[in-house]
Amino acid sequence: MYNSKSTSPSPTQPRNGHGDGRRVSQRGLLSIAMLLVSMGALTIALLGAVRLIFDIFGEGLLNSLDGIGTKAVAIGLAYMVGWLTAMVAIRVYGNLVLPMLIGWFAWGCLAGVCVLYMLVLQRLYVQEYDMLRYWAYLIVVGAGLGAMVGLHLILENHDLRPFSIPLLIISLIQLGLIVFRYVFTADAKYNFIWKDLVFFFAMTAFSILMLAHLGMLEPLRNQFTHYFDLNSTSIRTED
């Protein structure tokens, strides 16, 4: 009698409890999920803002006043969800795609503000508005500028100076319209000039501050950076 060795292969032992030895990164999945949530929420906020602006400038302010506060809160909530998830995805999980997308959204906000500014200039020139509409114009344009600055704060080393150039050009156009309206036309309502000047100086000052790059927003950005530097390890997962 003799002993024969078995030639059948022995079964492969699984490693670390996974048959293929591969593990899915939870950090990567969370980063992708936050990218999708951020882009979805910001897109919803953008579409809601476009619809609200269309209602104000198209149907008239009085026709769109019904529930306008609720609409503004809903749009602001969508924007804040997108803003917070983008901040966490970039500052905590190091998402490399989202900064580029946020930059595109910032340029989109600038384009929207420029279109709004031109629409407001047309209505200021015609001089057929009351104080309620005037305040609505100021608030809508200011909200657009605030949304743009908010996106700017998400990104590290983001420069607002190129964003000031289109606004300064439109401000120059407004200055020309003011001179033409009150000097070269006979039907100008001279008591409206202070409203034109307030809008002109507000937009010009905002644009010059962006162009000057004085670092006024740097302390706020540093606070965000300091907070996430201290708490990012406790927020994100280990794998």
Which pLDDT tens digit goes with each residue over 44-90? Answer: 999 999 888 887 777 566 666 667 788 889 999 999 999 999 998 88
pLDDT at residue 14 greater than cutoff 60: no
Name the token pair of 154: 């998400």
Q: How much is the pTM? A: 0.79
Distance CA 32, CA 213 (A): 33
The least confident of 15-19, 65-69, 181-185, 224-228 is 15-19
Higher pLDDT, 181 or 93: 181
SS3 15: strand
pLDDT for 62:
61
Q: Mean pLDDT: which of 6-10, 12-16, 144-148 is highest?
A: 144-148
Is the Cα dihedral 155, 161, 167, 170 positive or negative? negative
Q: What is the mean pLDDT of the chain?
A: 83
Q: Please report where in the chains the tokens 């508005």 appear, as a residue.
A: 129
pLDDT at residue 183 greater than cutoff 70: yes
Name the token pair of 134: 């005037």
pLDDT for 239:
53
Is residue 148 within 8 A of residue 109, CB to CB? The reply is yes
Distance CA 215, CA 45 (A): 28
Long-range contacts of 25-30 (CB under 8 A, 24+ apart): 25/239, 26/237, 26/239, 27/93, 27/236, 27/237, 27/238, 27/239, 30/93, 30/236, 30/237
pLDDT for 93:
82
**Eight-class DSSP state of 18:** B
Per-residue confidence band for 156, with pLDDT thresholds at 50, 70 and 90 = confident
Higher pLDDT, 100 or 223: 100
